A and B are shown apart, each in its own frame.
Chain A
Amino acid sequence: MASRRSVRRAIVGIVAVALCATVLYPSSSMAAGTVDVGVLQSLTGTMAISEVTVKNATLLAIDQINAKGGVLGKQIVPIVEDGASDPSMFAQKAQKLIEQDKVATVFGGWTSASRKAMLPVFERFHGLLWYPVQFEGNECSPDIMYSGAQPNQQILPALQWAEQKGYKSIFLLGSDYVFPRTANLILKKHIVHDGGTVAGEEYVPLGGSDFSAVINKIKVAKPQIIFNTLNGDSNVSFFKQMAAAGLPSAKLPVMSFSIAEQEAKAIGPSLLEGSYAAWNYFQSLPDPVNKKFVAAYQAKYPGSPVDDPMAHGYLDVYAWAAAVTKAGSFDPEKVRKAATSLAYSDVGLGETKFAGNQSLVQTGYVGELQPSGQFKILWQSKGPILPVPYDPLSFPGKTCVL
């Protein structure tokens, strides 16, 4: 009864909101000399810590290309959107970028959840997404270019290295989400297949900070090495509590799949010293092109390290620009066709290319963390590895059909 009089007022309000929505949104101006691209990463929320750095690398690449005259004679205008660490926001913003801003392509996404949420949007509108982060595979879409590693390019090389070093008993520890569970599923098959043993498998809720029980279980299982797929802040808790429990990396080696230079800086190199990581790029790669990239990035963001997803985010822009140039068009369909027929050497990843399944061909590296926060490269795979989205041992009979 209370709201009778204001009902009509409020009604006007609803209509006003709906109308304001159209007015407030500046629709993108497709000026003649520019081309809009979307950059969609989490600028807020739990994932911002990682995704902001990729956004920076992406923007750096755009600046550099613009400085050289842009692409097809047009300056690239990035439209940066915030995914807010929320997959539904990624879907919403992806839709905005494609439908409202009419961008030529989108660079972005970090978590599998955000990629999975954006996928239907890109398929619906036939857009093109450049995804820069290593992931669990089991997906290939014509509307996504996967420059991050497939499991066979990061996890399996690490296992190969561990086996060569004589580590037989492996403890699998991860955050409770898709990448660790799938990675460990693949790892278990391969460990058993290769004659090793899985000493244990534990998952901690995302953001979990209590590792007392896990460390206790590790002590009882007595593995030779831990394969760690923990995400984000949980790593800080894990390494602090391992050190407190008298198990620093020097005593019980840890191979991490989600700790790159950025995370190492956040966790504190002193805690991580001597632990291992497997990536397809390290800042310390001696390639001269890489040195230039690192120098350019640090000129813009002093003191900030460069890592694997950033390198891929940077590469994605160059790959897109090259493909556009080759195709002579911004049409996603033509661009993705062109992208798989080119080779790139613009980043320190060496000479790379996109395979027919739209994933990147790349080399696997194992590094050991130094007190400086940099990784010393211990090992590298024999040449670039072809991407395999579906691990044949774990998912027999599944192949990528575009």
Chain B
Amino acid sequence: MIRRELGLVLVLVAAACAPLYLPAYELSLLGRFLALAVLAMGISLIWGTGGILSLGQGVFFGLGGYAVAMHLKLASADPGAVPDFMQWSGLNTLPWWWTPFGNPAFAIAAAVIIPGTAAAALAYLVFRRRVTGSYFAIITQALALAATTFIISQQQYTGGFNGLTGFTSAFGFALGDQRTQFGLYWVTVGIVAVTFVAVRALQGSLFGKVLLAVRDGENRVRFLGYDPLPFKVIAFAIAGVLAGVAGALVTLDLGVISPAMFGVVPSIEMVIWVAVGGRNSLLGAIVGTLIVNFGKDWISSVFPDLWLHVVGAVFVLVVTVAPRGIVGLMQSVRTRSLRLRPVTPPALVE
């Protein structure tokens, strides 16, 4: 136990010191991908533990990103003027629902509450009628499509396809400043650490145990006196919150949020991060996110035509050869000598 915690602390220290030894560009990538890892841990919670495959996590990512971006946009606009995209969309007064985002605390709260509430509402409406996992996956994918279509079509309120960008400062800090970048990086590392500890505690609690049982057999849990609905709704809402937090962090880091970042394709890519790392492992989610994203940055620079082939092959291989991902592979290497494990983990039976 102690050695394990020690390992985690060491990684945390190594990550926190990254600004000292990583070049600026890699550091900014690492910060961005760690922010995405927060979202990935949410997917690990709902998919690995809860058996809920969502192909629409991007939507909650986007909601978090937009909440923060709306504030940044207002903070960057000239006093009394509406944001630039509203002007060129022919809108000269600020819509009422934009106004509260002028308050930074409201925007930060909204980046957490709005995705969480939206996720809870969706999960409640769909799971209430005991819709199966396949249906849910398809509906969430349709949601990703509908959400991006809708945001793009409401250009005068949302910035449309271009999204929201052109921020100068964030919560009083100049965005271009290196100190702001470092600060944001450390905030990200802190959030990753807190999320990791919190989700792991959740998985260890009775809630996590029941959720795991729900994954393998919803009815069995029901006949033990547990209503699976609130468990799934709460888990999905937590994943929604984590996606929203990730969206907010990435928006701050990249200085842009746009529908192209969270539509159908990005949403399914989020699932592949977790699948590569190992869907049943929280660490797998982080490792998978880092590996896939660094891999994408590298391969798409060197062999752009190869990237889709690689992603496609990774999808196929992970599912057929290594359904428990990298962490699962390492685990089975370590445990094979100790005891035999069932070949197909129960997690794979939906």
Chain A residues in contact with chain B, CB under 8 A? 1-11, 13-15, 17-18, 20-22, 24-25, 27, 43-44, 81-82, 84-89, 91-93, 95-96, 99-100, 111-113, 116-117, 119-121, 123-125, 136-139, 176-178, 181-182, 185, 203, 205-206, 394-395, 398
Determine the residue in chain B with the shortest Cβ distance to A52. Answer: B304
Q: A9-B330, A21-B29, A205-B149 are contacts. A100–B258 as well, Cβ < 8 Å?
A: no
Determine the residue in chain B with the shortest Cβ distance to A113. Answer: B162
Q: List the 6 closest pairs (A to B, CB-CB), nearest first.
A: A177-B161, A124-B176, A43-B304, A82-B304, A120-B255, A138-B88
A6→B25 contact, CB < 8 A: no
Q: Which of B230-287 contact A (CB under 8 A)?
A: 250, 254-256, 258, 260-261, 266, 278, 280-284, 286-287
| 22 A-B interface contacts by CB (under 8 A) | A1-B204, A3-B278, A3-B282, A3-B331, A10-B284, A10-B327, A13-B291, A21-B29, A87-B260, A88-B256, A91-B255, A92-B32, A92-B297, A96-B25, A116-B256, A119-B166, A120-B175, A176-B155, A176-B160, A177-B152, A178-B162, A185-B89
Q: A2-B281, A15-B11 are contacts. A181–B301 as well, Cβ < 8 Å?
A: no
Number of A-B contacts (CB under 8 A): 208
Q: A2-B281, A185-B89 are contacts. A95–B25 as well, Cβ < 8 Å?
A: yes
B163→A113 contact, CB < 8 A: yes
Report Cα–Cα, A181/B155, bound state, in Å: 8
Q: Which of B36-88 contact A (CB under 8 A)?
A: 84-85, 87-88
List B contacts of A205 (CB < 8 A).
Answer: 149, 152-153
User: Which residue, B88, B331, B335, has most C-beta atoms of chain A within 10 A?
Assistant: B88
Candidates B14, B23, B281; contact of A10 at CB < 8 Å: B281
Tell me if B290 is interfacial: C-beta within 8 Å of chain A. yes
A6→B300 contact, CB < 8 A: no
Report Cα–Cα, A120/B177, bound state, in Å: 12
A14→B287 contact, CB < 8 A: yes
Interface string of B204-248 (1 = CB under 8 A from A): 100000000000000000000000000000000000000000000
Consensus secondary structure, chain A interface: helix
Q: A15-B14, A18-B30 are contacts. A181–B331 as well, Cβ < 8 Å?
A: no
Tell me if B326 is interfacial: C-beta within 8 Å of chain A. yes
Report Cα–Cα, A27/B258, bound state, in Å: 30
Determine the residue in chain B with the shortest Cβ distance to A10. Answer: B283
Q: A15-B14, A120-B167 are contacts. A113–B258 as well, Cβ < 8 Å?
A: yes
**Stretch of B1-9, B120-128, B131-139 with 4 or more beta carbons under 8 angstroms from chain A:** B1-9
Tell me if B298 is interfacial: C-beta within 8 Å of chain A. yes
Report Cα–Cα, A20/B26, bound state, in Å: 10
Consensus secondary structure, chain B interface: helix
List A contacts of B28 (CB < 8 A).
Answer: 95, 99
Q: Which of B154-184 contact A (CB under 8 A)?
A: 155, 160-163, 165-167, 175-176
A57 to chain B, nearest CB (A): 17
Interface footprint category on B: 35 or more
Determine the residue in chain B with the shortest Cβ distance to A88. Answer: B261
A7→B7 contact, CB < 8 A: yes
List A contacts of B281 (CB < 8 A).
Answer: 2-3, 6, 10
B327→A3 contact, CB < 8 A: yes
A48 to chain B, nearest CB (A): 9
List B contacts of A85 (CB < 8 A).
Answer: 260
Interface string of B81-114 (1 = CB under 8 A from A): 0001101111000000000000000000000000
User: Which residue, A2, A4, A203, has most C-beta atoms of chain B within 10 A?
Assistant: A2
Candidates A9, A13, A14, A119; contact of B165 at CB < 8 Å: A119
List A contacts of B297 (CB < 8 A).
Answer: 92, 96
Q: A6-B327, A6-B330 are contacts. A21–B3 as well, Cβ < 8 Å?
A: no
Chain B residues in contact with chain A, CB under 8 A? 3-4, 7-8, 10-11, 14-15, 18, 22-26, 28-30, 32, 84-85, 87-90, 149, 152-153, 155, 160-163, 165-167, 175-176, 204, 250, 254-256, 258, 260-261, 266, 278, 280-284, 286-287, 290-291, 294, 297-298, 300-301, 304-305, 307-308, 326-327, 330-331, 334-335
Determine the residue in chain B with the shortest Cβ distance to A20. Answer: B294
Report Cα–Cα, A316/B310, bound state, in Å: 34
User: Which residue, B23, B160, B291, has most C-beta atoms of chain A within 10 A?
Assistant: B160
List B contacts of A117 (CB < 8 A).
Answer: 163, 165, 254-256, 258
Report Cα–Cα, A305/B294, bound state, in Å: 36
Q: A43-B305, A138-B87 are contacts. A25–B8 as well, Cβ < 8 Å?
A: no
A177 to chain B, nearest CB (A): 4
List A contacts of B304 (CB < 8 A).
Answer: 43-44, 82, 84
Candidates B22, B298, B308; contact of A24 at CB < 8 Å: B298
Candidates A7, A15, A113; contact of B283 at CB < 8 Å: A7
B284→A88 contact, CB < 8 A: no
Candidates A17, A44, A91, A96; contact of B254 at CB < 8 Å: A91
Determine the residue in chain A with the shortest Cβ distance to B88. Answer: A138
A14→B258 contact, CB < 8 A: no
List B contacts of A82 (CB < 8 A).
Answer: 300-301, 304, 307
Known interface pairs A10-B281, A96-B297, A99-B24; 6 further A-B residue pairs with C-beta atoms within 8 A, sorted by A's residue number: A2-B331, A7-B8, A82-B304, A88-B254, A121-B255, A178-B160
B294→A21 contact, CB < 8 A: yes
Report Cα–Cα, A240/B26, bound state, in Å: 47
B255 to chain A, nearest CB (A): 4
B280→A116 contact, CB < 8 A: no
Report Cα–Cα, A20/B294, bound state, in Å: 9
List A contacts of B23 (CB < 8 A).
Answer: 22, 27, 100
Determine the residue in chain A with the shortest Cβ distance to B87. Answer: A395
List A contacts of B294 (CB < 8 A).
Answer: 17, 20-21
List A contacts of B7 (CB < 8 A).
Answer: 7-8, 11
B161→A113 contact, CB < 8 A: yes
Candidates A24, A44, A112, A137; contact of B307 at CB < 8 Å: A44
Report Cα–Cα, A275/B300, bound state, in Å: 38
Determine the residue in chain B with the shortest Cβ distance to A101. Answer: B25
Report Cα–Cα, A25/B295, bound state, in Å: 11
Candidates B155, B280, B301; contact of A3 at CB < 8 Å: B280
Determine the residue in chain A with the shortest Cβ distance to B266. Answer: A86
Report Cα–Cα, A22/B81, bound state, in Å: 44
Report Cα–Cα, A24/B10, bound state, in Å: 24
Report Cα–Cα, A95/B331, bound state, in Å: 37
User: Which residue, A10, A91, A117, A185, has most C-beta atoms of chain B within 10 A?
Assistant: A10
List A contacts of B89 (CB < 8 A).
Answer: 181-182, 185
